[in-house]
Amino acid sequence: MKNKLLFSFIYLLLSLYLIGVKESVSDVYELGIELLDKQELDGALFELNKAMGMVKNNYNHPLREKIEEAIRITKGKMVVSRYASRKRGQSPQGDGLNSINSEPFDFLVQQVFGKSLSRKVWENRDELKTEDPVGLGRTVTVLPDGGVEISANFTPGFSLRSVQAASFSLVSESEISLHSGSYCLYSTHSDFKIKISSTLADVELFSEQPFAMMVGVTTNGGMKVIGLLGRIKLTMDGETKEILPGNLVFCLPNDFSRKMDVELNTMLMTSKLLNSFKKPVVFHKKLNQQALLQALRTKNRYRSTVGDVRGNKNFEVTVFPE
């Protein structure tokens, strides 16, 4: 009897100990974030995937969205890091960066105002200038009151503009990662395809004809897309949305929002992406034509503006008084 009681007591103590050391979702998540902050990406992804496995059947868990966001950020950093490592290849000892003289002309700076800089792979450029090269693997940062326009040499006709406190990475010939800020992407050639990613949205873009569009990174890590020219097909998680000139759609973490219409003529007059550079965009005349056509066919107008997205679903709409 005494032996049985002793055994039961030991079993109880062991059970309590195991319960005490069992990892919680919060513990695993925090460890993953700690490793992410230390740039230990493989370990961070392991812990975050473990945390996701612990909540995979609990869709209302308070940490679920944070875990999903952290996984996306970690994967994005791993892609950029691995690509940069491949590009370094024969990099010299020391800071691990290639000589700035060896940077290829994957992209070429066409216009710049204010201050923009580029980092990673090659030695830092603290102030981009016209005709500077921007190699794949670079992260470009546009400072407040600045702007830069770059064109691709590997895909003739494709250009990107960015203004005001923006940051983006040229991941590969077929992918650009947008971290913050506003952009104008356009191509003068047909059958163009590229992947555009933000913190919480990965979108495949395809256009059979020349196109132009604006993209803004929203507070929640998604994107706001406005069509300027052409018929643009956006695909995300198996869903495809076609946008025409004047269409606005949000790329939310889980799906697309409904399409809305914005007045192109107002954008022509107010957009810094279109008006801040010395040389206008090459599609300026065609955009004027689209704005005129839109004005002729539009019967009802509303004095409102569509702004940011801070949650997973709702976007901000401000209505102006008469």
**Structural domains of the chain sorted by starting position, each given as residue range(s) with its CATH number in brackets:** 2-88 (no CATH), 100-319 (2.60.120.1440)
Nearest-5° Cα angle at 118, 72 to 196:
35
Q: Per residue in 198-225, pLDDT tens?
A: 988 999 999 999 999 999 998 888 899 9
What pLDDT does 20 receive?
43
Q: Give the integer Cα–Cα distance in Å for 229 and 246.
A: 8
What pLDDT does 322 receive?
54
DSSP code string of 144-175 = TT-EEEEEESSSTTEEEEEEEEEEEEEEETTE
What is the SS3 assignment for 185?
A: strand
Does the structure show a pLDDT above 90 at 115? Answer: yes
The answer to which of 27-41, 68-82, 96-110 has the lowest mean pLDDT is 68-82
The answer to which of 45-59, 71-85, 120-134 has the lowest mean pLDDT is 71-85
User: Phi/psi of residue 265, each to 5°?
Assistant: -60, -40
What pLDDT does 195 receive?
96
What pLDDT does 196 receive?
96
Q: Give the integer Cα–Cα distance in Å for 94 and 226.
A: 44
Does the structure show a pLDDT above 60 at 15? Answer: no
What pLDDT does 148 receive?
98
Does the structure show a pLDDT above 60 at 1? Answer: no
What pLDDT does 306 receive?
43
pLDDT higher at 9 or 64: 64
